[in-house]
Structure 1
Amino acid sequence: MNPEYLALPPARRRWYGPILLLTVFLLEIMLWQHLERQRSFCQTTGVRFASPIATDVLDQVETFTTSDKNTQGIYASFWGQQDVTISTSNGRHADAVVGIGYYGSAEDCLPVPYQQGCSPSIYGNECALSEALAQTLFGSTDIVGMKVLAQKKTYTITGVFSAKESVFLFPTQENLTCAELRGVSWDAPKEDVETWCAAVGLESPQCIVYGPQRVWIMTLFCGFPLFVVGVAFFVTTIRWSCLWPKGIGTVFWFVLAVLAALMLPNILDSLPGWLIPGRWSNFAFWQDLAQSIHEQQQAWKLCAHYWPDLIRR
C-alpha cells in the first residue's frame, strides 16, 4: 500500500472511501444522462448513399416492405437535406433554412424532442419547425395549425422541436440520400443492410451508421467506473478473507464461483454476434474486427455529414 496513504491520520483516511464513491456516483449520473440522450437518437441503423434515391426506387422499397420477400422485417424511412426559403402570410421569410425532407417516419429521420405539437406525418402537407425558425417567422412557438409556404407548397405546422438552428422538417420524395432502418439484426447488421439494399434495388451504401451498436458500446463505457469500483471491492474482499475463519472463507469463495459459473452463459448471450468469434482460439478474428471498425470510421469521415448527424453526437 502507498506509504503516503498510510502516513495520513486515520480520521482523514476514513473519508477517502466515501469521497471516491461519491465521485463515481456523480460521474455515473452524468454518463447515464448522456447515454439516455444518445439512446433516443440512435434507435435506427443509418445508411448513406452517394446519390439521391429515385422515386421509382421508393415505390420498389414500399412494395418490398409489405411483401413476403421481406423476411428480415426491415422498415425504412428516407431523408435528405437541402436549403429552403420559407415565408408566411404576415410577410416574414427566412432564407437558407436547413430543410430536412423525409419519406416515411419523421421521428426516425429526425429524432428530436418537441416543445409544441408532434412530428408531421407522411400524408398531406404537414411540417414541423425548429424553435429558432418559429421565433424568426412568428415570434412565438405557439404556432401549431398555422401555415407556411416552402418549395412552392403550403404546409400546415404540426409541431415545434428544440433546436437553436433554423430547421424545417417536411415530407418529400426528392433529394433523399439517407435511410434509417428498423428491424436490422443485432448480430449481423452489415450483412442485413447490404442484403436489403440489393433486394430493393438500391446502390451499395456509401456508409452505414450502426446506431444500436453504438449505444451498446456506450453502455459498456458508462459502466466502466462501476466496474473499477467492483474490482477494488473484490481485491479488498480477497485481502479481508485471509482473516476469516477457514470454513467461512471456503464457503464464501465456493458460492462466489458457482454464481460466476451461472452468470457466464447469460453474459455470453448478451454479447452481439459480431463480437463473438467462431472459435475462441482464432486470434485473427480480433485483428479483422479492428480492421473492419477502422474501415467503417474512414467511410464515415468520407461521406457527407448533415445537420441530423450533429444532434446524434
Structure 2
Amino acid sequence: MQFYKRLALISTAAMAAAILAPSAMAQDAFPSGPIEIISHASAGGGTDTTLRTMQPALEKALGVPVSIAVKTGGSGRVAMSYAKGRPADGYTLMLVTPTHLYTMAQGNSPVGIDEIVGIARASDDPILIVTRADGDLTTAKSMLEHDGSPLRWGTTHVGSVDHASAEVFAREADIDISVVPFEGGGELVINLMGGSLDVASLNLTEAMDAISRGDLTAVAIMAPARVDTLPDTPTTAELGLDADFSTVRGLVAMKGVPQERLDILEKALLEAMAGERYQDLLINSGMPMNSPAPGATWDPQLRKIHVNAVEVLTELGMVK
C-alpha cells in the first residue's frame, strides 16, 4: 500500500510540474510584453521619423507591440530622468543623440555615461563644413590658409555638437572664428546663402538640398571616411585634422539589463533597420547606408562622443 501511495504522489507531482512548466517558460521568455522606446524629440523631426519608420518592422521582429514615449524638455534631461526610473529589464529603451551626451558632459543630466549601454546605432549623420558656392572659401585649401579676420561660423546652439565641431576644427586648423549660434539648420542655410555667415556646421541631411542646387559647397566632411553622396569632398582625417563629428541616433538601455536580452533587442533592431522601409529612409534622406550598426560599434562611439564633449566644453568653460 505504501508503494502505491508513493507512486500516486510521484505521479501527482509530475503532473503539477508539467502544468507549471509552460507558465514558468512563459515568464522566462523575452520579450513577453510591450516594449517602450523613450524619445526626447517632438513629432515630425528626424529623431521621431527614425523611430516611427522602424517601429512596424521592430514589432514584427520582436513579436510584441512597440510604443514611443515622447518626453521632451531639458535637452534630454526629462527623457533620461524617466528612463532612470524604469526597471532595467529590457522593456524600456531610449533613443540617444549627441544632445543627451552633451547634457551629460555639462553635468546637467540625471544619468551618467556609465549608466547606459548602447544596443544599436540607427543613424550616423556626419557634420559638413559648408560655404557659399560663389564665395572665396570653396575648398579645404582656401579654408586652411585663411589668415584674415575671424570667420563668421554658424552653428546650432551654444554647447551643441555643431558648436563643438566648429571650435575643434578651428583649433586643429589654427584659424580664428567667431561663432554665431542659431536655432536650427534651416536658419543656418538661409544666413549662409545670404552672406551673413562665412561658414557653417551642417549635417549632411540638412545641407544636401542646397549643395545639390549649387548654392552651397561642402568644403570638408567631419568623418573618418568619405560618403557616397559627396565622393569628392575630403574628410578632416584626410586633411590631417583630428575633428570627427556626427549627429548620431541610437538605442540604449539602462545598465543592468541581462546580456541575453540585449542580444535579442540588438538582433531585432538590426533586422528592422535592414527592412525596405528603413532603407528607403536612409536613401531618401541622403544618410550613409552604413548608419545602422551593432552595439559593438555604437557603444564605443557614444562613449567617444561623450569624452570629446567633456574635453571641448571644459575648454569653453561650460562644464560644471
- Scaled by the length of structure 1, the TM-score of the pair is 0.26
Which is higher, the Rg of structure 1 or of structure 2? 1
- Taking structure 2 as the reference length, the TM-score comes to 0.25
